[in-house]
């Protein structure tokens, strides 16, 4: 268990509910997940925070999972937007996906096209825990996942969202 999760738990326990709600929404945009987390306060420590997050996530239905996905920025509207998205910024998504900033133009084009194809096929954006992955690695994952059946892919994307949520919970530590 990371020290960051324990620090985050203590931080969340000390905040007013409205601030906790806003912080949790930054971690995962599914409103039922946020409500379940608020109901589990106080967290006390990192293991209890993580356990609460995992239990709340496991209880979600398809619509809730898709709501969480909708809180991620869309990739693929155009190449300029894709280039801008992956420049270093202060937001978490940018830092999580920072390795794409070094991508060559051909890789960016394939990422854009792959993201558009993914959304057309599955009806939601491509979700991947991008931390530590290069643009080429993410492109490979995207292209592989385009071959999945919809139920299999939703389960994979949901597992990726859960990883992202955990990383974001750790970032709540002051």
Query: Is residue 11 flagged as an active site residue?
Result: no
Q: Please count the CA atoms within 13 angstroms of the CA of 154 that sit on its side-chain side.
A: 15
CA-to-CA distance for 63 and 66, rounded, in angstroms? 5
- Tell how many helices (H) and how many strands (E) occur in the chain: 10, 0
- Catalytically annotated residue among 11, 71, 72, 148: 72
Annotated catalytic residues are 72
């Amino acid at each position: 268990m990371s020290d960051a999760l324990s620090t985050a738990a203590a931080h969340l326990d000390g905040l007013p509910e409205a601030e906790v709600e806003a912080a949790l929404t930054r971690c995962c945009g599914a409103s039922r997940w946020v409500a379940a987390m608020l109901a589990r306060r106080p967290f006390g420590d990192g293991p209890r925070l993580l356990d609460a997050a995992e239990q709340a996530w496991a209880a979600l239905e398809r619509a809730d999972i898709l709501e969480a996905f909708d809180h991620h920025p869309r990739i693929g509207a155009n190449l300029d937007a894709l280039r801008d998205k992956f420049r270093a910024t202060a937001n978490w998504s940018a830092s999580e996906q920072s390795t794409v900033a070094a991508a060559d133009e051909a890789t960016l084009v394939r990422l854009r096209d792959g993201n558009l194809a993914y959304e057309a096929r599955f009806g939601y954006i491509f979700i991947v825990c991008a931390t530590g992955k290069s643009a080429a690695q993410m492109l490979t994952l995207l292209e592989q996942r385009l071959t999945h059946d919809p139920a299999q892919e939703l389960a994979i994307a949901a597992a990726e969202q859960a990883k992202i949520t955990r990383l974001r919970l750790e970032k709540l530590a002051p």
